[in-house]
Amino acid sequence: SRQIAVLERECQGPLFHRTGRGVILTEGGQRLLPRVKALLEEADELTRDAKGDVSGPNGLVRVGVMPSIAHPLVTQLFRRTRELFPGIQLRIYDGSGGQLNEWVETGLIDIAILFRYGSDARPEDHPLATIDSYLIGPAADALIKKGRVQFAQLHELPLVLPGTPNAMRVVLDQLARQHNVALRVMIQCEALATQKNLAAEGGVYAILWRQATTQEMQEGRLLGAKIVDPGITRTVTLCTSKHHPLTLACREVAKLIRMSVGDFADP
């Protein structure tokens, strides 16, 4: 109580309402709270960085990834982090592009790895690699076996695609209107595993990036044909939170992510 009273005298106004059950913030206290939290977080991060200068980077790093990027990126990132920085703990968040944008802006996660399409790019983004989109279907499918498929050949082709709003879906719909291609969406599905299972069983095709189906291709369940004329490219992008300063551990993990993406991105 004495410490609170001293604080209120320094602020020249009440910060708490006293009640029979304790205290609650006044309006002035509520306005100050976000700034106080930010100062405390920065002080904690300064302490962690100071320790890192002696013992190496350490602490928790929260990374958000889209399901289609998670493998093999997370596996490689974990291996490199464990080998180079054993004091760093990774916490992986799985979400859609929209969710990752929100989480990194609000500070729930420190780093987001997601796809950007053309005009979606932001000044604070860190582009890592540009990758192509593939029409995905059963390994024995005659159209897929050609290795390349014209965008016009998607006309009336049965597809499994994410529902709107979805960045890739928006791009596809725009291209379809520009090229008079009718997209025959048989089923809308956000789950990557379900899209791949449906495509493997035949009857519908998925549109994904090649590395999202690496395991299924090795097993002989799926095959991909690159979409061309026009192609559908997307940029793997690293975004960092502006909600609080990045710790030394976060900065080192960001470097490792850049290395890992370079290993499996399209040449």
Which amino acid would we find at residue 214? Answer: T
Q: Given this model, what pLDDT does residue 122 score?
A: 73
For residues 167 and 165, give the distance between their C-alpha atoms in angstroms, rounded to a whole number.
Answer: 7
Q: pLDDT (tens digit, 9 = 90+) per residue, 141-179?
A: 999 999 999 999 999 999 999 888 788 888 999 999 999
Please state, for a pLDDT cut of 90, what percent of the chain lies above it: 46
Residue 35 has pLDDT above 80, yes or no: no
The stretch 231-260 carries a mean pLDDT of 90
pLDDT at 194 over 60: yes
Mean pLDDT of the region 44-54: 61
Tokens standing for residue 242: 């502006």
Which runs of E-coded beta strand occur in the chain? 16-19, 22-25, 59-65, 88-94, 111-116, 126-132, 134-138, 148-150, 158-161, 184-188, 205-208, 222-228, 233-240
Higher pLDDT, 92 or 123: 92
Could you give the 3-state DSSP secondary structure of residue 179? coil
What is the reported pLDDT for 266?
56
pTM value?
0.71
What is the spatial distance between Cα 191 and Cα 250, in angstroms, rounded to a whole number?
Answer: 29
At 46, is the pLDDT very low, low, confident or very high (cuts 50, 70, 90)? Answer: low
pLDDT in tens, 97-124: 888 989 998 889 999 998 888 766 677 7
Task: Identify the pLDDT of residue 164.
Answer: 80
Q: What is the reported pLDDT for 120? A: 67
Average of per-residue pLDDT values in the chain: 87
pLDDT for 53 beyond 60: no
The position carrying tokens 């913030």 is 25
Mean pLDDT of 12-37: 82
pLDDT at 48: 61
Q: What is the arithmetic mean of pLDDT over 61-86?
A: 90
